Chain A
């Protein structure tokens, strides 16, 4: 597995991955500044509620959490595209000749992309936090509650739960890519499933649909009120195991004709 991981690290310099990281950082930074700017500027019940929230110890986390969905979508796109491209480009056949132990190859690639996703998300949070402090100072908003023990604790929980959520979405992207064996199909199916299919199912059968993978990953990251934190955590771990096992089985036994 280490050989596979080291091989993947060589590919980290590709523009597509750098673009993904840049997009995450950019959206988080922009979202942080824009969120404070709009909250301070603005009127109406939404603006007032947001401003009130920003003045609490959870203000920073609430601010960053508004951009979370975009960052998650970027992770899903990048991971599924990266996996799917091995089939689309035909590079998978070269990899399998050099490493015929398919599960080790898949494991190394999965770990590499998890490292990428978590590293990029961490950078995005760091930049978003920095920008939030700058924006708060620019707009005369006190950041003392954010740096209190409660505030820092909330931020750490946000980062930790966000990391688990990103692991879940990354494994979902991996599974869809192994299933579809195509970069465009992997991206399309992943996004369609996460953004549309689950949303439809939630509206139709909410009690059952809340246990779908995207729902539990999001619930874990955003402190859902529909299921408890521990339920979301357990379900995330369970879905992660299912996606790993299913993706591994497909990858292990399917013919590679790409």
Chain B
């Protein structure tokens, strides 16, 4: 796995573990998350994502291993939590208080400027409903309020668990843009989500979890490395053999499907294949690249099912 140095990391875990009785929720987790990135934290249900986040926030004690958040050990949450914002397992507020009062209660507890409550309500599009009871909010509005609550301390690190849950497409886009804007301000976002397509759009860094362990931790673009392919369609079917020989000479594997050649290789091989094919008298009517999606890679890594396959 690719790793950033501990000094540069927003989050580092070393052999982190948590058992609840006989059940192991987190099992020797080793991850590094660099500062200033949007890190997608994905995994199947019960893979340990929420437990890991709770450990990092000091809500749950680990039974093994260590971790550091923003350079400070999780044994001393007071050292880093003032610079951390979190939305864990959905928004949780006092239903009979207004959105504004809910934020005010949190702001007073954290000694944050009370003006931020009004600013954040505006940022998340709740300023007109800020004085209404939280119990009257829709699920999407509650989610927005949760994000506002996480942003109260103007944090260096944001841990967001399913931040787009309950939002309409416009809301999802707004949150995505907000996350990118926060990243551009130098903040680190640690986003746990089941919606892989959303993670794929925003994440610079990726952690894939299964059974409490990290299957992958590194730049998001690397997760699909080696899982790209070229699809070459010659003008005549008989020319497939010529193409196949060219590909084989370069050490790549391939498959044939419906008059096309599917080559497992880096996308950078495309122009070379085009030139070599032309030199060999093969006219390509189609040459396209296909990179495995995060969803396809995810299912391949966790050993589950996917609608799309990587190879023919």
Contacts and interface: CB of A to CB of B under 8 A. Distances in A.
Interface string B70-104: 00000001100100111011101111110001001
Nearest to B18: A255
Given A255-B59, A255-B60, A3 B111 contact: yes
Contacts of A7: 105-106, 108-109
Given A3-B109, A98-B106, A98-B110, A10 B93 contact: no
Contacts of A97: 57-59, 81, 84-86
B109 A257 contact: no
Contacts of B94: 11, 14, 89, 91
B88 A93 contact: yes
Interface string A214-258: 000000000000000000000000000000000000000001110
A26 B242 CA distance: 95
Interface string A1-32: 00110111011011110000000000000000
A94 interface: yes
Given A97-B86, A256-B59, A16 B96 contact: yes
A65 to B, nearest CB: 33
Nearest to A8: B105
Given A90-B90, A91-B93, A98 B109 contact: yes
Nearest to B60: A255
B59 A96 contact: yes
Q: How large is the interface on B (under 10, 10 to 19, 20 to 34, 35 or more residues)?
A: 20 to 34
Contacts, number: 86
A10 B101 contact: yes
Interface in B147-199: 149, 152-153
B61 interface: yes
B54 to A, nearest CB: 7
A63 to B, nearest CB: 34
Contact of B92 (A14, A91, A99): A91
Given A255-B61, A256-B59, A94 B92 contact: yes
Interface residues of A, number: 27
A6 B110 CA distance: 10
Interface of A is mostly: helix
A5 to B, nearest CB: 9
Interface of B is mostly: loop
Contacts of B96: 14-16
A38 interface: no
Contacts of B81: 97-98, 100
Contacts of A94: 86, 92-93, 106, 149
* Most chain B CB inside 10 Å of its own CB: which residue of A90, A94, A96: A94
Contacts of A192: none
Interface in A87-115: 89-91, 93-101, 105
B130 to A, nearest CB: 14
Contacts of B111: 3
Interface in A62-91: 89-91
Contacts of B108: 3, 6-7, 10
Contacts of B153: 98
A89 B60 contact: no
Interface string A142-169: 0000000000000000000000000000
A11 B104 CA distance: 10
19 contacts: A3-B111, A10-B105, A11-B97, A11-B101, A14-B94, A89-B92, A90-B89, A90-B90, A93-B59, A93-B86, A96-B58, A97-B81, A97-B85, A98-B81, A98-B152, A100-B78, A101-B78, A255-B61, A256-B54
Given A8-B105, A14-B96, A98-B81, 15 more contacts: A3-B109, A15-B96, A89-B93, A93-B89, A93-B92, A97-B58, A97-B85, A97-B86, A98-B153, A100-B58, A100-B77, A100-B78, A100-B81, A105-B109, A256-B54
Interface of B: 54, 57-61, 77-78, 81, 84-86, 88-90, 92-97, 101, 104-106, 108-111, 149, 152-153
Q: Which 3 A-B pairs have the closest CB atoms?
A: A90-B92, A98-B110, A7-B109
